[in-house]
């Protein structure tokens, strides 16, 4: 088992990295429903920008194999996975008790092809982790992934399956320690909760805190038992700008990398922390957001980049396109090339957008107090934890297929899910954008028991579902 640290050749940050990019051309067809802010269509828009900026030719483009039932059940409860596989818009009225039990139906609606959607985005994240484990790539990217709110037994915050937890479990087969960093505006509660009692995974979440979904992520929440001080939370207020954000991100993450020495890193790049997001209230520029990617890349540690939130979809596509360029070490022209979604980006037709003049409610004193508190927590970690060497579980078998570039670049007509960013109706109750009271979470309820790696013998399970493809929006 690798001990972590700089497992890739060291060198200047400008050095090219081997990048694998996972994309299923069907993912943009799934549709959460009229008025819902989550639109998987943004993944297709991102892919179009990558194609027309010429970035696809600089990385390996792979179509992920959908995750199987047994893959999802490595974290999620069997009955929850069975429910997701079986539920349809036509049958949901007959299963109201189950819908309530699994928190499906409001901000996590039932839509056509729901389970196939979950298999697709989870498959990309797990395949990215496998590729990093095998040394086939320095950086793996799955912009369809990053759905960090899903719990072991329930959906939450537009997320049904927690692909991040599944990817971390895959990475733990090879690496003693895995670092998870979350720059979505919402707290990465599902991932933190899963690994709250272990020191083999460190989670660090930068998020809006205070009367904001999901209501968790206080600076004093630091983990429990063996996991104490291995969960870090950076609670932020409205209007934080690039300079303020980086004044926390770089010293905290720099110290984490020094003390924890992870063998692999997952960075969840939720774009709802950008200025002007429909559900967000931060004021980051795309370059400021991407500086987090650039900084993580500089450590030369295997890196998995995932998507997440982001609800002004033209800016989501801009952001993840630019961050793909950062991963590749390629600076992109601000003038946007003509492509099939060009009209989304007017009147500027540029890759970057200026932040607004909104007030930054994060005072220098507040930022200094947060930084000092978190660095104090990190000082309590004496050394990077290790685990006893033993035979590791076999890699998940996910035979990826090279995505045919022509097929991958096909687009559907403007009638599929070309909803404008501003035409959505408000959703009824418990929606991610609404302010809710923090809910108490039992720190022992959804933990993963992974203090020691276990060998998982995978049976040849032939449970397969038909590919139901929908119009979906993310």
pLDDT for position 12: 56
Q: For residues 156 and 105, is the Cβ–Cβ distance under 8 A?
A: no
Options 36, 52, 58, 149, the catalytic residue: 149
Locate 80 and state its tokens.
């929850």
Per-residue pLDDT band for 63 (boundaries 50, 70, 90) equals very high
397-438 confidence digits (pLDDT tens): 666 555 544 443 333 333 333 344 333 333 333 446 433 333
pLDDT exceeds 90 at position 6: no
Contact in structure between 399 and 67 (CB atoms under 8 Å): no
**Cα–Cα nearest to 43, from 63, 23, 60, 61:** 23
Q: In the predicted model, what is the mean pLDDT of residues 94-105?
A: 96
Annotated binding residues for a divalent metal cation, written as ranges, equal 184, 186, 272
Contact 319, 289 (CB under 8 A): yes
Domain boundaries, the chain: 19-379
Fold of 19-379: 3.40.800
Q: How many CB atoms lie within 10 A of CB 434?
A: 15
Q: What are 349-358's pLDDT values in tens digits?
A: 999 999 999 9
Query: How high is the pLDDT of residue 415?
Result: 36
With bands split at pLDDT 50, 70 and 90, how would you rate the model's confidence at 442? very low
pLDDT in tens, 180-217: 999 999 999 999 999 999 999 999 999 999 999 999 99
pLDDT band at 9; cut points 50, 70, 90: very low
Compare 223 and 396 and report the one with higher pLDDT. 223
Is 58 in the active site? no
**Which is more confidently placed, 67 or 393?**
67
Strands (E), 52-111: 60-63
Q: What is the pLDDT of residue 334?
A: 98
pLDDT at 69: 97
pLDDT band per the 50, 70, 90 thresholds, residue 115: very high
Known binding residues are 107, 157, 184, 186, 272, 311
**What's the distance, CA 411 to chain centroid?**
24
Tell me the HSE value of 463 on the side-chain side, using a 13 A CA sphere.
Answer: 16
Reported as a single tens digit per residue, the pLDDT across 359-383 is 999 999 999 999 999 999 999 997 7
| pLDDT over 80 (residue 92) | yes
Q: Could you tell me which residues are annotated as the binding site for substrate?
A: 107, 157, 311
Task: Using pLDDT thresholds of 50, 70 and 90, give the confidence band for residue 443.
Answer: very low
Helix (H) or strand (E) holding 379: helix 364-379
């Amino acid at each position: 088992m690798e001990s972590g640290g700089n497992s890739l050749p060291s060198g200047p940050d400008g050095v090219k990295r081997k990048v694998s990019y996972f994309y299923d051309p069907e993912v943009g067809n799934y549709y959460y429903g009229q008025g819902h802010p989550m639109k998987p269509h943004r993944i297709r828009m991102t892919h179009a920008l990558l194609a027309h900026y010429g970035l696809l030719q600089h990385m390996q483009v792979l179509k992920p194999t959908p995750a199987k039932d047994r893959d999802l059940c490595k974290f999620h409860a069997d009955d929850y996975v069975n429910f997701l596989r079986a539920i349809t818009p036509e049958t949901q009225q007959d299963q109201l008790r189950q819908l309530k039990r699994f928190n499906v139906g409001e901000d996590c609606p039932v839509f056509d092809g729901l389970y196939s959607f979950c298999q697709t985005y989870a498959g990309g994240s797990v395949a990215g982790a496998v590729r990093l484990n095998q040394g086939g790539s320095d950086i793996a990217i799955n912009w369809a992934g990053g759905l960090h709110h899903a719990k072991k037994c329930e959906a939450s915050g537009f997320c049904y399956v927690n692909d991040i937890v599944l990817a971390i479990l895959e990475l733990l087969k090879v690496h003693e320690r895995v670092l998870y960093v979350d720059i979505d505006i919402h707290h990465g509660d599902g991932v933190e909760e899963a690994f709250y009692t272990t020191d083999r995974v460190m989670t660090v979440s930068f998020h809006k805190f205070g009367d904001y979904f999901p209501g968790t992520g206080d600076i004093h929440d630091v983990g429990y038992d063996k996991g104490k001080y291995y969960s870090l939370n950076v609670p932020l207020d409205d209007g934080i700008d690039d300079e303020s954000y980086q004044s926390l991100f770089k010293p905290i993450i720099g110290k984490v990398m020094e003390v924890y020495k992870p063998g692999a890193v997952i960075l969840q790049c939720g774009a709802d922390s950008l200025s002007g997001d429909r559900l967000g209230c931060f004021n980051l520029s795309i370059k400021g957001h991407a500086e987090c990617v650039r900084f993580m890349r500089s450590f030369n540690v295997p890196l998995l980049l995932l998507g997440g939130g982001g609800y002004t979809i033209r800016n989501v596509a801009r952001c993840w396109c630019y961050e793909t360029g950062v991963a590749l070490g390629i600076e992109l022209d601000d003038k946007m090339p003509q492509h099939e979604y060009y009209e989304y980006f007017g009147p500027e037709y540029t890759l970057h957008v200026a932040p607004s003049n909104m007030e930054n409610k994060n005072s220098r004193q507040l930022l200094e107090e947060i930084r000092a508190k978190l660095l104090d927590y990190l000082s309590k970690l004496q050394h990077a934890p290790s685990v006893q060497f033993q035979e590791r579980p076999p890699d998940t078998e996910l035979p990826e297929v090279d995505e045919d570039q022509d097929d991958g670049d096909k687009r559907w007509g403007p009638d599929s899910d070309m909803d404008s960013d501003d035409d959505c109706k408000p959703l009824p109750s418990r929606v991610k954008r609404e302010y809710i009271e923090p809910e108490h979470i039992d720190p022992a309820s959804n933990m993963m028991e992974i203090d020691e790696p276990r060998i998982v013998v995978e049976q040849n399970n032939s449970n397969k579902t038909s590919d139901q493809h929908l119009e979906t929006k993310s």
